């Protein structure tokens, strides 16, 4: 795991060989307090947060409609603001669905502040094609019960022609638009 400790930059900028693909996914959480739901994880505002409401482990499920070659997952947490709500132990699982998830990384965090990165590359330093990612909050600082996560970003490697076709330019004329997709 890599950490940008002390840098509460609201923008999680990725290198040019990566794409943020969280917008393509369906997001769900194990529980939430009213007004602090899953939408807070994706609003690009580090001043808001998802707050769980129930027993641990707390989970965030990220499901994609197609296989994605995921490179890493980044999440923003701030111990200075959230104290006992701050995750202390976080695990990430990947797979094709809930039935076959396997853990790729589990990390312990000490008073984290800023973007935390967990690589999703396998032992050969290659991406895995998956449909689902699950983030598990296993424990909080000072034995806190509920948790706060401020943002999550999921990055895919730009490696295939199909990926490039997903981001085709928008044409303004009918003549060009009719040739912009395959049937």
pLDDT digits (tens, 9 = 90+) for 98-125: 999 999 999 999 999 999 999 999 889 8
Q: Which residues pair with 70 in a beta bridge?
A: 128, 156
pLDDT category at 128 given cuts 50, 70, 90 is confident
Q: How far apart are CA 63 and CA 34, in angstroms?
A: 23
Q: Is the pTM of this model over 0.85?
A: no
């Amino acid at each position: 795991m890599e950490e940008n400790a002390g840098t509460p930059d609201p923008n999680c900028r990725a290198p040019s060989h990566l794409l943020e693909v969280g917008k393509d996914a369906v997001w769900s959480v194990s529980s939430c307090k009213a007004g602090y739901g899953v939408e807070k994880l994706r609003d690009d505002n580090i001043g808001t947060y998802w707050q769980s409401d129930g027993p641990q482990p707390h989970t965030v499920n990220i499901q994609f409609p197609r296989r994605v070659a995921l490179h890493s997952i980044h999440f923003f947490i701030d111990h200075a603001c959230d104290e006992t709500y701050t995750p202390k132990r976080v695990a990430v699982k990947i797979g094709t669905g809930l039935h076959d998830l396997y853990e790729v990384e589990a990390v312990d965090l000490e008073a984290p502040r800023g973007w935390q990165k967990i690589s999703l590359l396998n032992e050969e330093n290659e991406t895995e094609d998956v449909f689902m990612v699950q983030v598990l909050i296993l424990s909080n600082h000072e034995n806190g019960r509920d948790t706060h996560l401020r943002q999550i970003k999921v990055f895919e490697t730009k490696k295939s022609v199909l990926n490039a076709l997903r981001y085709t330019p928008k044409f303004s004329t009918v003549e060009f638009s009719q040739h912009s997709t395959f049937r």
